[in-house]
Amino acid sequence: MAKKSALWSYTIAGWSGFYVMLVELLSGRLIAPSFGSSIYVWGSVIFIFMLGLSIGYLLGGIYSQYAPSVSKLCGILAASALTTLPTVFFGTAILDFMFNLIVDPRFGSLMTCVCLFLVPTIFAGMVSPYAIRIIVKNRESSGHDAGYLYFVSTLGSSIGTLLTAFYLVLLFEINTILLVAISISLVLAGLGTFANHGKQ
């Protein structure tokens, strides 16, 4: 049972790392037609994603104190995916609104990132500390387990960065990539919930 929970936790953490970097890279491509691709725009993107992840780490650690389970971890992953959907369906409208509302591209791109990406990034940030709480069973192995978890998560982020930048953006439209990634997250969350239903 413990091995099964750990396997699911590593899998979800790895995919979440992949997912958040995929969305971050695509966010720059999404914003570029309206606000350009200057250092201001990328500064806004990186700031919001780092802010979202830091808040997520804090909230994930707090939430993990209340009867942690793989099913709840799957719920966090699903929340990150579902809160990305407005970017797919309303991203262009929000970009146009912000472009007309805010003249300064620095603050325009910053506020656009807040509206589109802050919430899903917070949920993505909650995954790793929550997964660690599931995996770690004693103090003696806590450093070892946390190291492995962050290795898997960061490896997922690295692969997501390379695959998105080198291949996916050249082959598919942004919304197509996002919808496929969202679907994978939801399928993974559903399978994890089903496989661990009723288990702590």
Sign of CA dihedral 46, 128, 8, 64: negative
The CA distance from 71 to 190, in Å, is 9
Angle 73-77-81 from CA coordinates, rounded to 5° = 165
106 pLDDT higher than 80: yes
Map residue 172 onto helix, strand or coil.
coil
User: For the whole model, what pTM was predicted?
Assistant: 0.93
d(CA 35, CA 95): 9
Distance CA 6, CA 42 (A): 35
With a cut of 90, say whether residue 33 has pLDDT above it.
Answer: no
Alpha-carbon span 115 to 136, nearest angstrom: 35
Q: What is the pLDDT of residues 37-90, one digit of tens each?
A: 889 899 999 999 999 999 999 999 999 999 899 999 999 999 999 999 999 999
In this prediction, residue 149 carries a pLDDT of 93
Q: Write the class of the CATH domain 2-190.
A: mainly alpha
- Collapsing DSSP states into helix, strand and coil, what is residue 24? helix
pLDDT in tens, 150-198: 999 999 999 999 999 999 999 999 999 999 999 999 999 999 999 877 5
pLDDT of 138 strictly over 80? no
143-156 core/surface letters (b: 16 or more CB in 10 A; e: else): eebbebbeebbeeb
Q: What is the pLDDT at residue 4? A: 84
Which letter does DSSP use for residue 166 in this model? I
